[in-house]
Structure 1
Amino acid sequence: MRPEEIVVAPTPDSSRDTAPLRASGRTGGRRPPRRTGAGRRSFTSTLAALDELATSGARVAVRVADLDRGTTVLAGDDNDTLPVGGLGVVPLLVEVAAAFEDGRLNPLEIVDRSAVEPVSVSGVWQHLKAPALPLVDLAVLAASTGDALAANALLRRVGLPAVRARLEALGLERTALLDRFRDRRGPDDAPQVALGSARELATLFSALVNSRAVSARVSAQVAEWLSLNTDLSLVASATGLDPFAHEDDGHGLLFVNKTGRGDGVRAEAGVLAGPRAGVSYALIVCFDDLSIAHRLRAHDAFRILGLELMEYVF
């Protein structure tokens, strides 16, 4: 993070009622940043971890906002546009759900895998025997397993211009899906799959769970798909949720997230809500992936943020 102020807000009142949310079913050397507000909840461990990453040369952007109030809980370089890897699937899913709702696409339209250029960077469809699947199942695969082949099939069907228009309609100016997933990127290809800012990604997830992304039905559909995400290895590792079955936790915890990965890129955005509070969040770290130690240091920052978010919402 560059030498600009990180905002840290007070801990929410423990008496605040989040029942309406649950009932709805919504699923280079840099100086360290300054902190404001003595006596406020400081996210001290998170700030220390992010400061260490920034000092080592990583680019870091973070945003945490109170889900109901919309107030900033934690922010640093959250307007910076950075690579976000598979997080670019989220606006694609929004456009797909909107197309299902308005009838431009039939959810049960069958897509043959042979019609999509092979890609093996992530996902399970490439390993399945089923040679063809309906669009709605491809959306589930893209959301739940980060399936690159499924995402490319959806993108081939709706087109990049439609996703860009959807982002514009959502008011997201620093977030873009640039290209399909590829095993290798040549000189004529976009250098990244997707770009985004922590502020806009956190805002998008807030809109999804508060039924403000396109429509209530579209918001609910995308949130439902994303609630199936099995990647709980970063921020989500602090939740203790079962990666394969976490829709109904039984402890008053609501969680929806999506991660993004690439060479030297780790990103996650989502919503976490507990008995005391709910937050939307996004953390992006771009680092020199020189060794396992460098990678694990980046991962640790996500897990530390997860722990302090859990303390905030509980």
Structure 2
Amino acid sequence: MSIRWSILAVRLDDLAAAPWIEQSSDLVLKTASVGKLLVLGDVARRIDSGELAADLRVSKTGARFVRDSGLWHTLDQDELTLVDACRLVGAVSDNLATNVLLDLVGLDAVAAYGDSIGAKPMEMLDYVSGEARDRSVPGTPETLSRASAAALVHYLRQLYDGVVSARVEEWMSLSTDLSMVASAFLEDPLAHNTIDEVGHPFLINKTGTDDGIRADVGLVRDGDRAVGYAAVANWPTDDSPPGLSSVMARMGRIGAEIRDRMAEG
């Protein structure tokens, strides 16, 4: 079994702080749905600038239909407000909502947004598909998104510093997947976005899952301290059962180390 890891956990409130946890932080791996953070960031920027209205009605009719993660494909409602579509992406990594957002702004614009915040090698490469990618078709990306742990933590730092819109923090706070690194904080997956005294949730995160891929990127706050983390694991898909078990166990240990260090003060 060969598992490749890219891991980084570091304080965002102290630029001089050494990493709390680090392993191959510059290694670029497949990150599945984590790339959707770039889509959310670009949409949030456009809402903040007035280019798009938060209450704009967006429709799933005619969008690239995909099931798997998400809720919108099960709902009767054909239209949602733009912000509600973003909330679905943040809460349940909604694939259909992601494709609707990409129809609205375009992959090229998302790439340009990533460049504007220095996100590379973090990239969103394609629409979400419910089928295996046909690499025989020219131009078909190998994966939905990719990044290194260092690039993902850079995105969090941009969010912490206000370069990425605070709307993204709100949408990430709705995440219902606390199964990986975030599991160590023992929060209620369905009700953990309580706002603290300075207006921030304790924990926000975004995960990515696919065959041979697990990724969790998040920001944990405790008073004035803020720790950003990213843990990405890739392993051969023909070894998924033992690989997945090992990966999930280590994800929990990474979270526990962050939790314990925060508790030390």
1:142 touches 1:150 (CA, 8 Å); kept in 2?
A: yes
SS of 1:180's partner is coil
Which residue identity is paired with 1:207?
Q
Superimposed CA distance per residue, residues 222-252 of structure 1 (whole angstroms, 9 cap, x where no aligned partner):
1011001110010111111111111127899
Whether 1:297 and 2:246 are equivalent positions in the alignment is yes
Whether 1:284 and 2:232 are equivalent positions in the alignment is yes
Query: TM-score by structure 2 length?
Result: 0.91
Superimposed CA distance per residue, residues 280-304 of structure 1 (whole angstroms, 9 cap, x where no aligned partner):
0100000124243321111111111
Cα distance in structure 1, aligned partners of 2:174 and 2:253: 23
In structure 2, what is the equivalent of residue 254 of structure 1? 202
Which residue identity is paired with 1:131?
D
Gaps of 5+ in 1: 1-55
Q: 1:229 aligns with which of 167, 172, 175?
A: 175
Whether 1:271 and 2:219 are equivalent positions in the alignment is yes
Which residue identity is paired with 2:49?
D
1:253 touches 1:275 (CA, 8 Å); kept in 2?
A: no
Q: 2:38 aligns with which of 67, 91, 99?
A: 91
Cα distance in structure 2, aligned partners of 1:293 and 1:147: 27
Describe how 1:7-46 pairs up with structure 2 within 5 A: none
Describe how 1:73-84 pairs up with structure 2 within 5 A: 73-84=20-31
Gaps of 5+ in 2: none
Q: After the TM superposition, list the runs of 4 or more consecutive aligned residues in structure 1 that deviate by more than 6 angstroms.
A: 249-253
Shift of 1:276: 8.2
Whether 1:116 and 2:69 are equivalent positions in the alignment is no
1:264 touches 1:286 (CA, 8 Å); kept in 2?
A: yes
Which residue identity is paired with 2:185?
T
SS of 1:183's partner is coil
- Count of residues in correspondence between the two structures: 254
Cα distance in structure 2, aligned partners of 1:97 and 1:275: 26
In structure 2, what is the equivalent of residue 243 of structure 1? 189
SS of 2:42's partner is helix
| Seq. identity, % | 29
Query: TM-score by structure 1 length?
Result: 0.77
In structure 2, what is the equivalent of residue 49 of structure 1? none
Which residue identity is paired with 1:86?
S
Return closer, same or farther for 1:286/1:131 CA change in 2, 3 Å cut-off.
same
Q: 1:102 aligns with which of 49, 73, 81?
A: 49
In structure 1, what is the equivalent of residue 126 of structure 2? 179
2:117 touches 2:158 (CA, 8 Å); kept in 1?
A: no
2:33 touches 2:207 (CA, 8 Å); kept in 1?
A: yes
In structure 2, what is the equivalent of residue 167 of structure 1? 114
Return closer, same or farther for 1:276/1:302 CA change in 2, 3 Å cut-off.
farther
Cα distance in structure 2, aligned partners of 1:205 and 1:270: 7
In structure 2, what is the equivalent of residue 151 of structure 1? 98
Shift of 1:111: 1.8
Superimposed CA distance per residue, residues 48-92 of structure 1 (whole angstroms, 9 cap, x where no aligned partner):
xxxxxxxx3111110111121133222221111111010001011
Shift of 1:253: 7.4
1:121 touches 1:182 (CA, 8 Å); kept in 2?
A: no
Alpha carbon RMSD of aligned pairs, Å?
1.8
Q: 2:85 aligns with which of 131, 134, 138?
A: 138
Superimposed CA distance per residue, residues 141-200 of structure 1 (whole angstroms, 9 cap, x where no aligned partner):
011100000011001101011111111110122111100100112222211110111001
